[in-house]
Each structure stands twice: as structure tokens, then as C-alpha cells.
Amino acid sequence: MKLSKNIQSTAKKVLTQEAEAILQVSAGINSDFEACVEHLLSIPGRIVFTGIGKSAIIAQKIVATMNSTGTPALFMHAADAIHGDLGMIQDGDAVICISKSGDTPEIKVLVPLIKRLQVKLIAMVSNKNSYLGQQSDYILHALAEQEADLLNLAPTTSTTVALALGDALAVCLLECKGFTAQDFAKYHPGGALGKRLYLKVGDIYPTHEFPAISHTSSIQEAIHEISSKRLGATAVLDAQGELAGIITDGDVRRTLENSKDWSAIVLADMMNTTPKTIEAEAFATEALAIMQSKNITQLVVTANKKAVGFVHLHDLLKEGIV
């Protein structure tokens, strides 16, 4: 195998060329693009993406992006469309056809069939004067004058430009719709990303027993509660069952270390009467932010102003929030 002596320069050239092509497409964004977005916002149906070859692969990725950001979309392979898959297109849909040349045989066969269905046809095409460009209601101009390989044959720059233009379209649609992080979480419930967006403190704290003692309890009872519940702390409740404070294992050690007469120690000597709390309905990420800002490892969880449990830093680590 003959190795090129210019591997680094070739890689940089490819990336630079593709980046410049994207900037060129960006400079061409105009009112036509805006009109296309406005139409897609107005339709009651889905966006059907189609293409052939590498364009089909790009179409599938854009479909995935659209669906995950609140815009219903589906993929229809251009070759399969003429063998029954045209039935995927319904009234109220719009079709985006991706093709660099806009003149491939499959596209020339498919376009008239789509036009018969009386849905808007949008071309994502490099050559605006192609058959596809001329037959379309809107054009997303994915200009790619030169592919990145020396032979100017392999779909490289053209597919990168189409993918980036698809991302731009998806983001415009989500922003116009007011798509929120909570909406995003609905479509991404799995993994650490999803959990950061939807997991609440109330989903976590019930996995533990609630370490709690009365304000009249002994020091020995407090230490036993901290040790047995294994959260490094215990809540202290007053006569009405309200949160009076908390005692952590650190509070115990510091108090004993600074006291000459352990027999004289009472709960009030150890107790923090202004503990940090968090509502059960708060997001787990809020709990993490408080722990990090206050340099603590647990928070008392409250619901309807009553202490109901603890959430610990280890819980957040286990859930992948950290």
C-alpha cells in the first residue's frame, strides 16, 4: 500500500473546502428559504424526505433530526416510491427531494408522480436549473461546486452541504414552534441526556428510607439513624413533624472532636437548623447545581412543605446526571 506523504494537508484541504462550501450556502439563504420554512410550518401533515444513493442516507439523517425536534417526518426511498411507497404521502404533507444534480433518472421518474398528488415539492439541490429545480415549488439551494476528492466524483462536499442545510431547516422549524428542552426530553427519554431533561428529585428520593429522628432523640439514636439509613445524614423533626434541622456524619465528628465532655452534648449542639432543601418536583439537575454551589452531598427533599426524604450526590452519579 502506497501511503500519501500529504495526509495532514489532504485532510485539512477537505475540511476547509467543505467548510467554505457551507459558508457559501449560508450566504445564499434568502426570502425563498424563509418562504419554504413558512410553508412547512403551515402544513397539517408530515415532511416526506426522498432521495437516491448517498442523498438517501442524508435524507434519513435529516428525518431523524426532524422527528427528534418536534417536526413529524418520514423517509421514502426514491427507487421504492415507484413500486408502492408513494402511498406514504398523504394530503397535507410536503415532499423534500434531495439530489445534487437534480437530473438522475430515478428523480425524473419520481417528480411527476409526486406532482400528481398535489402536495408541495421542495428541491434540496445543487443545480437550481436542473429538472428537479424547475419542477419544484421551493428550492433549498445546496450549492456544491466541487467535491472534496481529487476526481470530483465521491459525494463529499455535496452531502456535507445537504446535511448542514437540513440542520438549518430543522432548527428554524423548532425555533418557530417554540420547541423547549422539556419537549426535547419527550423524544429523548433514554440515556444521560434524557435524564438531565426530565428526571425529577421525586423520581429518586423514594428509593431510600427516610432517615429522621425526633428533636427529643438521643445522640446515640441520631448516630444509629445516620449509620443504618446510609445516607450520611438524618433529618430532625419537631413535635409537629416539621423539619427542625439535619445532622450529618460530619456534624457528629466535628462536634465530638471539639467537645471535652461528650456526655453533655445534646442534639442542638450538632444540628444544622438551616439545612438546604429542594422540592420533590424540582429537576435532578437543580439538585446537582445546589450541591455543587454549596459544596454539600445531600439535600432534604420537601413536598407540600413537609420533609419527605433525602437526595444524595451518589444518586445523581448513579443516574448519570453528573
Which residues contribute to the annotated binding site for Zn(2+)?
Answer: 77
- Structural contact between residues 159 and 133, judged by C-beta atoms closer than 8 angstroms: no
Angle at Cα 22 formed by Cα 65 and Cα 56, nearest 5°?
A: 45
Numbered residues of the known binding site for substrate: 77, 83, 216, 269
Cα 65 to Cα 155: distance, rounded to the nearest angstrom: 21
DSSP three-state, residue 178: coil
In Å, how far are 10, 147, 154 from 150, measured between CA atoms?
10, 8, 9
Annotated binding site: 77, 83, 216, 269
Alpha-carbon span 285 to 202, nearest angstrom: 12
- 233-237 and 243-248 beta bridge pairing: antiparallel
Assign 53 to helix, strand or coil.
coil
DSSP string computed for 106-120: HHHHHHHHHHHTT-E
